[in-house]
């Protein structure tokens, strides 16, 4: 019992140091934790100078399992339950965010909320097994990431209706999904509606967030760019994106401006006046539009998107919207109907911005291919007949022809990563359009357009 009380005090000390737990809140949280863990107070505050919060949570969870407080089958949820006892409430988070925003600015408020999400253990570290690498192309480098786990599918259900609904705050989670005991959201007033900002539990790149409408409703094309501009104003360190695909709950995603597209130089300026239009030197065909005023931005950008999407069947536009002291920016990746490959039918938005993300199924395939390439003699017939590996036979033949069989695991891995990189580079060429076509898009939509019309 003494040890569990020590760990309770360590947890409370962490709450005071990292999660803004007040002395009064500490007393309240201690009593709740004593009740939860069915232990008696010792009237003595033990303090570990440098407690490891993960060790603290694990020891308290082990204690709860050993003493029948929680079933072993759901023990993985218990650390989130513990953290919720020392986290500020949803109301307190909203009030503190607003106060910091008013007194110190939006970036300071962002930092506060990020600390709540990460130090409160809502945002989870990527589980071991996810791996990635960089690929170099003629028009910029990009990243490739193969995941070890996925996010919940965005599908209709009873309660909450989907992972983006407000009802997920504090929700115990459905079987097989992460719990949301420590989830907190920030309300944004956009137009006459309320939207909710939160971070993804599983981060694919830094500070990855989602902003979802209060109502569970499908997306509406007509309001997308205006909403994205408003969100970009509220998240000045990041960017906002959407894929315009059918959504069961309207939302926009984004994160820090770390993808390579935002670092690329301008290749050609098409217009420099009341607003700016240029071609970006990037591996995917991209127009960059900059406007000083939001009202001009909302009028210009949709013209380009609507024109190119309607120009030919299969055309795609992926917008990345962001706001700086110079104005409002939209990087519009304009794609045509390209040739599908064995990895994907078409690039998704994150791929076109600089991060190709593949699901865990590919990791399993790669591990099997590595094993096959490590054999003394590669069994091409076996691979050809395999339902899982058959379509990757060309990769195996190509590697075996270049490097032979009986490959060490690191050499087989590097060879497969190289082929995946080449496949991604080929996709950038297949789905992109020429600079002449980008210039045509500008001529047809904005050349004779004035924001003062």
DSSP letters along 340-367, please?
A: --SS-SS--HHHHHTEEEE-HHHHHHHH
Q: Along the chain (453 residues), what's the average pLDDT of each consecutive run of 10 residues?
A: 86 94 95 94 66 93 96 92 97 97 93 96 77 91 90 78 93 83 96 94 91 89 84 92 82 94 96 95 97 95 95 95 96 95 92 94 94 91 93 93 88 94 95 97 90 65
Residue 128 three-state SS: coil
Find the radius of gyration of the CA atoms of the chain. 25
Supply the pLDDT for residue 259.
Answer: 93
Q: What is the pTM of this model?
A: 0.91
Q: Where are the domains of the chain?
A: 2-86, 89-120+152-199+206-238+248-254
Supply the pLDDT for residue 47.
Answer: 61
Supply the pLDDT for residue 158.
Answer: 86
Supply the pLDDT for residue 404.
Answer: 83
Supply the pLDDT for residue 284.
Answer: 97
Sorted by sequence, the CB contacts under 8 Å of residue 360 that are 6+ apart come out as 146, 147, 148, 149, 150
From 312, 363, 298, 297, select the one nearest 146 (Cα to Cα): 363
From 35, 29, 37, select the one nearest 68 (Cα to Cα): 37
Give me the sheet containing 355-358, strands edge to edge. Answer: 131-135, 142-146, 355-358
Supply the pLDDT for residue 403.
Answer: 87
């Amino acid at each position: 019992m003494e040890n569990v009380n020590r760990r309770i005090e360590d947890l409370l000390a962490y709450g005071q140091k990292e999660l803004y737990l007040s002395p009064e809140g500490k007393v309240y949280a201690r009593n709740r934790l004593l009740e939860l863990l069915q232990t008696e107070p010792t009237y003595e505050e033990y303090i570990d100078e440098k407690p490891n919060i993960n060790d603290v949570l694990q020891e308290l969870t082990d204690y709860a399992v050993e003493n029948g407080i929680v079933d072993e089958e759901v023990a993985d949820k218990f650390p989130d339950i513990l953290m919720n006892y020392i986290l500020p409430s949803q109301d307190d988070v909203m009030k503190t965010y607003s106060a910091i925003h008013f007194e110190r600015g939006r970036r300071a408020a962002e930092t506060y909320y990020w600390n709540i999400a990460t130090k409160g253990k809502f945002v989870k570290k990527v589980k071991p097994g996810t791996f990635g690498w960089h690929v170099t192309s003629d028009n910029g480098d990009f990243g490739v990431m193969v995941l070890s786990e996925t996010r919940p599918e965005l599908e209709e259900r009873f309660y909450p209706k989907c992972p983006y609904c407000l009802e997920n705050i504090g929700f115990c989670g459905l079987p097989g999904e992460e719990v949301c005991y420590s989830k907190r959201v920030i309300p944004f007033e956009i137009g006459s509606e309320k939207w909710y900002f939160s971070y993804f539990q599983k981060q694919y790149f830094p500070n990855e967030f989602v902003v979802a409408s209060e109502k569970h409703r499908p997306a509406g094309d007509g309001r997308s760019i205006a909403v994205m501009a408003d969100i970009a104003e509220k998240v000045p360190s990041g960017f906002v994106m959407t894929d315009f695909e059918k959504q069961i709950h309207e939302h926009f995603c984004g994160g820090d401006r770390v993808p390579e597209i935002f670092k690329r130089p301008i290749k050609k300026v098409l217009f420099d006046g009341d607003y700016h239009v240029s071609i970006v030197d990037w591996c995917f065909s991209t127009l960059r539009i900059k406007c000083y005023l939001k009202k001009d931005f909302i009028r210009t950008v949709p013209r380009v998107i609507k024109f190119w999407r309607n120009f030919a069947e299969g055309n795609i536009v992926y917008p990345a919207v962001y706001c700086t002291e110079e104005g409002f920016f939209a990087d519009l990746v304009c794609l045509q109907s390209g040739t599908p490959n064995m990895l994907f039918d078409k690039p998704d938005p994150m791929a076109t911005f600089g991060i190709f993300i593949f699901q865990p199924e590919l990791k399993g395939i790669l591990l099997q291919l590595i094993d096959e390439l490590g054999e003394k003699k590669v069994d091409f017939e076996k691979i050809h007949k395999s339902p899982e590996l058959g379509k990757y036979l060309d990769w195996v033949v190509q590697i075996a022809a270049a490097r032979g069989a009986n490959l060490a695991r690191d050499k087989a891995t590097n060879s497969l990563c190289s082929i995946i990189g080449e496949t991604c580079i080929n996709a950038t060429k297949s789905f992109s359009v020429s600079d002449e076509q980008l210039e045509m898009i500008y001529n047809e939509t904005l050349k004779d357009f004035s924001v003062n019309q």
